Amino acid sequence: MRKLTIGSVLCAVLVLAGVAYAAVSAVTDRPTAKSLPSVSGTAREGDTLTAAEGTWEKGNGLTYAYQWQRCDAAGVNCANIAGAAAKAYIAQAADVGKTLRVEVAATDPDGSSQAVSATTRDVVARGADPTVRPAGAQRLQDGTYSIPVSSVDPPERLNIARVQFQPSVLRSRAPFTGRFRVMDTRGYAVRDALVYVVGVPFSRVSTPPETKTGVDGWATIQFTPTARLPLRNGFFLTMFVRARKEGGDLLAGVSTRRLVSLRTGAQS
């Protein structure tokens, strides 16, 4: 067995220390963000937002790359926006009611590091004043805003934005539940809107009375299929949905209409 001397042990320690220092150096010599990137511009559909890179240390000949991300109204659940990899980004219709942020990658000969900006405020629709919210605006738990239907006037309109059914496939004639979320064209959830749903043709399912949306913009309605509803694979129950303001014009004003469908299946 080779005899270890104090000199050989010391040499090994120094070598290992050198390796450790080199490894740390390889990490710490990459660009390091001293201040985070930021976003300037108006968070409004059609307007341009511009990224500022922030400040970086240990950078030599830095180059920057950008990736814009869309988040929910609370500023979480962020995902990259396809094709949005430039310093500037034009807010899109898909961004209305969401928030945006930008990820900046700084690169020098030692490597690359990333830093992410804070999110913008919720993006408003084209032409809307981003500093003013409609009367009665109420912030919801998820960071979005709810407004009363009385605050929706032309040229804005109601929009049946989301539809959910439980169960998602009808295999019996037991009662089922539909949920309908009403928002306006600015991306606000709308409370106290009247939602009316009827089957097409109407003889296949019950027709409940109009139901008002809650504070979160959702109306929950229960339906009962009739004996005329075919329960077989490949068939769909079609339903006509209308949302309106009480006292408003059924066909004009801010009212809206949509056809939705629910799949049926053979009884198991």
Q: Domains in the chain, please, with CATH?
A: 32-116 (2.60.40.2700), 138-264 (2.60.40.1930)
- The answer on pLDDT for 4 being more than 70 is no
Reported as a pLDDT band with limits 50, 70 and 90, residue 126 is confident
Tens digit of pLDDT for each residue in 20-49?
A: 333 333 445 788 889 999 999 999 999 999
Determine how many CB atoms are found less than 10 A away from the CB of residue 205: 25
Alpha helices by DSSP H, listed for the chain, are: 6-28
What pLDDT, on the 0 to 100 scale, is given for residue 28? Answer: 56
Q: Output phi, psi for 18, to 5 deg.
A: -65, -40
Question: SS3 for 66-104, per residue?
Answer: EEEEEECCCCCCCEECCCCCCCEEECCHHHECCEEEEEE
Q: Output phi, psi for 203, to 5 deg.
A: -75, -5
DSSP letter at 59 equals: -
Tens digit of pLDDT for each residue in 145-199?
A: 899 999 999 988 999 999 999 999 999 999 999 999 999 988 889 999 999 999 9
pTM for this prediction: 0.63
Question: For residue 125, which amino acid is it?
Answer: A
Q: Number of C-alpha atoms within 13 angstroms, CB side, residue 247?
A: 5
Tens digit of pLDDT for each residue in 256-268?
A: 999 999 999 998 7
* Beta strands at 158-166 and 79-80: parallel, antiparallel or unpaired: unpaired
Tens digit of pLDDT for each residue in 205-248?
A: 999 999 999 999 999 999 999 999 999 999 999 999 999 999 98
Reported as a pLDDT band with limits 50, 70 and 90, residue 15 is very low
What pLDDT, on the 0 to 100 scale, is given for residue 12? Answer: 43
b/e per residue, 18-36, with b = 16+ CB within 10 A?
Answer: eeeeeeeeeeeebbebeee
Determine how many CB atoms are found less than 10 A away from the CB of residue 16: 10
- Residues near 93 by beta carbon (within 8 Å), at least 6 away in sequence: 45, 125, 126
